């Protein structure tokens, strides 16, 4: 409360006791001569304004609970652990997530991660029906966005998957920017932002965002940050800088095919063909597909750099090549 020359200003603020989050604030001005009238005005105004603020806060609090179905939540947790542990476990993770979604069709986190799994099946060439998985993944992602609200994790997973599936990449970056505005300390969010910006043809911005992710989470593995960093250097023509990042990405997850391809192409462009062909042989233990589709790279010069590098690396032993 503040007073000046016969007038008074009362400032009120509402804070969530459990979280300390700011929910609402306002101020009320009046004359000291009519202090009782002002008191009544403040009481009625605060009651009228706080009620919808409290209602919105309770809705948000309820939405933050993972799901009312604890079995669905358990399935989701098991799937999440599988996703982050190894690329080889993506099919297992998707099966668990589909079970969770069957139990709770509006379970946003499960829908978002299911979309990511479909995206990864296609990237890793582990899909038994690529077109069906593409359609299924896009459906999961759109359903996730419908229930995402202000949940940064759901926004990031759904928009990143849709960007891969061919949706307007500028629109998906808007969702990603919104998620980062909601939680600027979201390491995975910065990593996915870097990935999608690399797809959009912004490799230098991609590196900045991945570096932000790694600063926020220096010990824990954050999405595919190292692979994204290496790929961003590659499409910029910085092959020597791409190599160490891609080597580390393979060490981090030996079952993830993408860094093998970009590493082999990097070696080939550097004229280190023996090393390039050694990486191709290692790749073939994971998948028979050497030159995989990279239509998600929106810049045609980036796609050509990738294809030409892998053709050099493959040489005359090009069996199993798809484009």
Total-model pTM: 0.75
Q: Is 236 exposed, middle or buried (0-12, 13-18, 19+ CB in 10 A)?
A: middle
241 versus 217: the higher-pLDDT residue is: 241
Q: Residue 220: give its domain's CATH number.
A: 1.25.40.10
Q: How far apart are CA 128 and CA 189, in angstroms?
A: 29
pLDDT at 165: 95
- Per the model's pLDDT, the better-predicted residue between 220 and 73 turns out to be 73
Mean pLDDT for all residues in the chain: 86
- Residue 16's alpha-carbon distances to 39, 232, 249, in angstroms, are 24, 42, 42
Radius of gyration of the chain (CA): 25
Q: Of 64, 86, 108, which closes a domain?
A: 64
Instruction: Say yes or no to pLDDT of 300 above 80.
Output: yes
Average pLDDT, stretch 28-36? 77
Shared domain for 46 and 189, answered yes or no, is no
Identify the top-confidence range among 12-16, 210-214, 244-248, 316-320: 244-248
Asked if residue 290 and residue 182 are part of one domain, the reply reads no
**The pLDDT value given to residue 59:** 46
Whether 21 and 116 map to the same domain: the answer is no
Tell me phi and psi for residue 147, to 5 degrees: -110, 5
Averaged over 229-233, what is the pLDDT? 96
Token digits for 114?
A: 């299911």
Domain span holding position 249: 235-323
């Amino acid at each position: 409360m503040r007073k000046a020359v016969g007038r008074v200003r009362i400032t009120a603020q509402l804070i969530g006791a459990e979280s300390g989050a700011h929910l609402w604030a306002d101020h009320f001005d009046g004359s000291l001569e009519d202090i009782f009238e002002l008191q009544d005005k403040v009481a009625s105004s605060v009651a009228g304004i706080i009620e919808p603020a409290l209602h919105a806060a309770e809705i948000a609090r309820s939405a933050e609970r993972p799901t009312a179905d604890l079995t669905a939540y358990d399935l989701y947790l098991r799937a999440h652990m599988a996703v982050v542990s190894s690329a080889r476990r993506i099919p297992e993770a998707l099966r668990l997530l589909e079970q969770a979604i069957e139990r709770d069709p509006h379970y946003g986190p499960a829908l978002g991660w299911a979309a990511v799994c479909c995206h990864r099946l296609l990237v890793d060439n582990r899909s038994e029906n690529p077109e069906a998985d593409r359609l299924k993944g896009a459906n999961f992602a759109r359903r996730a966005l419908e229930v995402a609200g202000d949940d940064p994790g759901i926004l990031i997973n759904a928009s990143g998957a849709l960007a891969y599936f061919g949706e307007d990449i500028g629109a998906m970056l808007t969702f990603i920017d919104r998620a980062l505005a909601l939680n600027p300390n979201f390491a995975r969010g910065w990593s996915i932002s870097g990935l999608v910006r690399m797809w959009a043809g912004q490799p230098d911005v991609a590196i900045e965002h991945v570096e932000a992710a790694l600063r926020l989470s220096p010990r824990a593995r954050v999405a595919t940050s190292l692979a994204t960093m290496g790929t961003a250097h590659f499409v910029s023509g910085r092959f020597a800088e791409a190599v160490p990042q891609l080597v580390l990405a393979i060490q981090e997850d030996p079952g993830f095919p993408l860094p093998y391809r970009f590493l082999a192409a990097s070696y080939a462009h550097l004229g280190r063909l023996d090393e390039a062909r050694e990486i191709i042989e290692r790749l073939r233990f994971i998948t028979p597909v050497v030159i995989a589709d990279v239509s998600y790279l929106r810049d045609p010069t980036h796609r050509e750099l990738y294809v030409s590098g892998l053709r050099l690396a493959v040489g005359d032993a090009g069996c199993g090549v798809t484009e």
